[in-house]
Structure 1
Amino acid sequence: MDLKTEDKIAFGGGCHWCTEAVFQSLKGVRLVEQGYVSSFNDNASFSEAVIVYYNPKEISEDILLEIHLHTHNSRSNHSMREKYRSAVYVFSEGQEHRLQNELNRFQNQFDNRLVTKIYWFNQFESSRESIRNYYLKNPEKPFCKRFINPRLSFLLEHYSGFIKPSFTTSPAINP
């Protein structure tokens, strides 16, 4: 796969196992790299996140953002926000401008104020191999059943047209 021909965006939103599974389930997403992302200045520390490589002809940046906002706790600050930043990491000024406008527009879908911030992408460190593709390797593990399956069920209910067929038939999320 030639990732140079794909668009990319990075998301942080709670545990990267959950975020990874959400984006792996989407049509048009070619690769999800799970790991740790840093930004600059006050946000230079690494936080759990994923880089999503996608084909914009199959799924748009705004749909990716909307799904991200609805599949993690994007509305509350908590003591672990440094490790689990509610974030969108951008790679260009144009992307930053578009996504800030979309983030403002999506605020209307939520009762509480979004805490999700847009940051410039600085560095990425990949997770160790044993925890990458966590859901795909371990769909029956208790963590997956408790935390990931509800997110995937939400996607099936609200974004079914964007879900890859392999996820729509999963017995783990369709008991």
Structure 2
Amino acid sequence: MKLIKLNSLLFLCLFSISCQSSTKKQTSTVATDGTSSKVELKKTPQDLSKYETAYFASGCFWCVEAVFESVKGVKEAVSGYSGGIEKNPTYQQVGAGNTSHAEAVMVYYDPKIVSFETLVRVFFGSQDPTQYNGQGPDIGAQYRSIAFYKNDEEKEIIERYIKQLEDKEIYSKPIVTQVAPFDKFWKAEDYHQDYEKRNPNNPYVKNVSIPRLKRFQKKYPELLKDNVH
């Protein structure tokens, strides 16, 4: 009985540390001892026109962005919102469940290095596709799992991979990931971009995002960029 209570308490504590718990824009703060609550990463503008794009949603976009940016052939991942009908959604609206959008990422990738099929493998391998309307401690339709497709070929690749997972009985529960046509991607506010890298001491990042990234990297070391450990 004590074990059950302890597990319940742990879950409640983790649940309180959610992707939506940090909604205020943060300023850079770097301590003299080298530790920081926020690390400022300045990026020069990139020409991404030569790259292909793919779109995925599987929980907090801080986590998903970090996962895809660690993969060989991925040039950039951008956090944003997709899957809904509302125009110009904000983080406060989406995070509160007041839109039909989900937190999503736009992945810029080089198809000569990484295929769309491999990105689909990354997508499913870095989440629990059996969790309905949520991912980990983040609960709600805004955190649902969606694999977006831009054409029939991408749709076929996604559906074929799902069938492979089901045939191999990888999961004990049904896969509930949505397979949906891509319509529109709305880029999230600037302070969400590279959030995990810039906020390594954020409680959610430390307890949820980084462990999720490390689990993926341990599972698929052959897919990682050379500078990723």
TM-score calculated relative to the size of structure 2: 0.66
Change (3 A) 1:152 1:144: same
Contact 2:101 2:142 in 1 (8 A): yes
Shift of the 8–106 alpha-carbon distance from structure 1 to 2, 3 Å rule, reads: farther
Tell me which moved more, 31-40 or 142-151: 31-40
How is 1:37-76 mapped onto 2 (pairs within 5 angstroms)? 37-38=82-83, 45-76=100-131
CA distance in 1, matches of 2:146, 2:227: 28
8 Å CA contact retained: 1:35, 1:124: yes
Show the counterpart of 1:115: 176
CA contact (8 A) 1:39 1:121 kept: no
Among candidates 32, 37, 53, match of residue 8 of structure 1: 53
**Aligned-partner Cα distance in 1 for 2:188–2:106:** 12
**Contact persistence 1:39–1:120 (CA under 8 A):** no
Which whole-Å CA distance do the structure 1 matches of 2:178 and 2:217 have between them?
26
Q: Residue 176 of structure 2: SS of its match in structure 1? A: coil
What is the match of residue 154 of structure 2?
A: 95
Q: Is the 8 A contact 1:75 1:115 kept in 2?
A: yes
Q: How many residue pairs end up in the alignment?
A: 165
Single out whichever of 15-24 and 3-12 deviates more from structure 2.
Answer: 3-12
> What is the aligned partner in structure 1 of residue 189 from structure 2?
128
TM-fit CA distance, 1:140: 2.8
Residues 66 and 194, structure 2, Cα contact 8 Å, conserved in 1: yes
Q: CA 1:36 to 1:71, structure 2 compared with 1: closer, same or farther past 3 Å?
A: same
Calculate the TM-score normalised by the size of structure 1.
0.84
Larger radius of gyration: 2
Q: Deviations over 1:110-155 (max 9, x none)?
A: 2221111210111111111111110121123221111122122212
Q: Which runs of 5+ in 1 are unaligned?
A: 169-175
Counterpart AA for 2:74: V
Please give the alpha-carbon distance, in whole angstroms, between the structure 2 residues aligned to 1:94 and 1:2: 26
Asked if the contact 1:34–1:132 (Cα under 8 Å) also holds between the matched residues in 2, the reply is: yes
Structure having the larger proportion of residues in helix: 1
